[in-house]
Amino acid sequence: MSQHWSEYWEQGNLTSFGTDFSGNYAGILKDIWLPIFKELRPNFEVLDIATGNGALPLLLKSYLDESNVNGRVRGIDIAKIQLIKPDNDSLIKIDLIGEINCESLPFSDPVDLVTSQFGIEYSNLSTSLVAVANILNVGGRLCLVCHHHNSMIIHRNKQILLLIQSVTTKKLVDNLYSLTDSMGQVTTKVDINRIKNDQACEALRNDINQSIGELHASNETALVDSEILNYVTTFFKQGLYWPVDKKKDYLKFVQKQLSDLALRLEELVRAAIDENKLTSMRKILLNEGVELVSATTLTSTDAQLLAWHFIFQKT
């Protein structure tokens, strides 16, 4: 699981939504944390589970930097993640630690707050929740934003997954490989004219256009979200005059990107929490002395279901 996420975070993404958020989380996914962070007291200790590149620690810091409240936020992730440059002028210290499995926390000092946004649900909850409960101070809270099995996020990403795993997408990439061989080396306008008059190249271009049309007709939104159109555009524009080997290397890169995306989306769908999984979570935590305070849902400005919001407290 960690390798394709490591590569994802290496691309500089701050949230798990890639280009959907140009910066950090916004809207309700940002604002929901403000009252939680405001309750932190001086010398607080916070642990953020599945932190990625530190989206929640950075939100916490931005909320509290003007308050005179000092403390530390440790963000852990099973993947390799980017470090945050220390800010010596801030009272909030952030430590990001990669390659740490939340199912077996390597810390013994207790914390006041454990957070996770679209993260902890990817783990084995029967072990990760016990580990979290053990590190919480009495009175400490576990605050989670988790994928809801019926959310717009899950529905949207299921459609992307279906599209990139379709026979049509495979055929499209295969035909791009075949076209690369049929075109041969392209260096001049003479080569372009040669290709235009080549029946095999023309047939492959028609097949490629037909595949794109089929994908567009099946789900235009998923097609855009998958980046397939951008990959094809790059192949024909920037890549037209590339050497044959470079074109094939690019297509291998495209296959890897689509494969990694499929893995992330499959994990996302499996991780989503339904009512049965919530009941199981409550039982696990209750056995460790951690009680459910509230379980609500978050919705977008256009009233679409986004996520679960859970608050637990150690009694």
Length of the chain: 315
Phi, psi of 201 (to 5 degrees): -65, -40
User: pTM of the entire structure?
Assistant: 0.86
Q: State how far the Cα of 286 lies from the Cα of 290, in Å rounded to an integer.
A: 5
Mean pLDDT value across residues 141-161: 96
pLDDT single digits (tens) 158-204? 999 999 999 999 999 999 999 999 999 999 999 999 999 999 999 99
pLDDT surpasses 90 at 71: yes
* pLDDT value at residue 37: 94
Tens digits of residue pLDDT in 88-123: 678 899 999 999 999 999 888 899 999 999 999 999
Tell me how many helices (H) and strands (E) the chain has: 13, 7
Q: Are the beta carbons of 89 and 76 closer than 8 angstroms?
A: no
Least confident window among 53-67, 231-245, 252-266? 53-67
C-alpha–C-alpha distance, residues 48 and 96, integer Å: 9
Give the whole-number percent of the chain exceeding pLDDT 90.
79
Q: Is 44 helix (H, G, I), strand (E, B) or coil?
A: strand
Question: CA–CA separation, 117 vs 123, rounded Å?
Answer: 13
For residue 108, what are the contacts with CB-CB under 8 A and spacing of at least 6?
A: none
For residue 273, what are the β-bridge partners? 148
Q: What is the 3-state secondary structure of 170-201? A: HHHHHHHHHHHHHHCCCCCHHHHHHHHCCHHH
3-state secondary structure of 93: strand
Helix (H, G, I), strand (E, B) or coil at 295: strand
φ and ψ at residue 143, rounded to 5 degrees:
-115, 125
DSSP designation for 241: T
- The Cβ-side half-sphere exposure at 218, using a 13 Å CA radius, reads 18
Give residue 79's pLDDT. 87
Q: Are 40 and 71 in contact (CB under 8 A)?
A: yes
| 3-state per-residue secondary structure call for 47-73 | EEECCCCCHHHHHHHHHHCCCCCCEEE
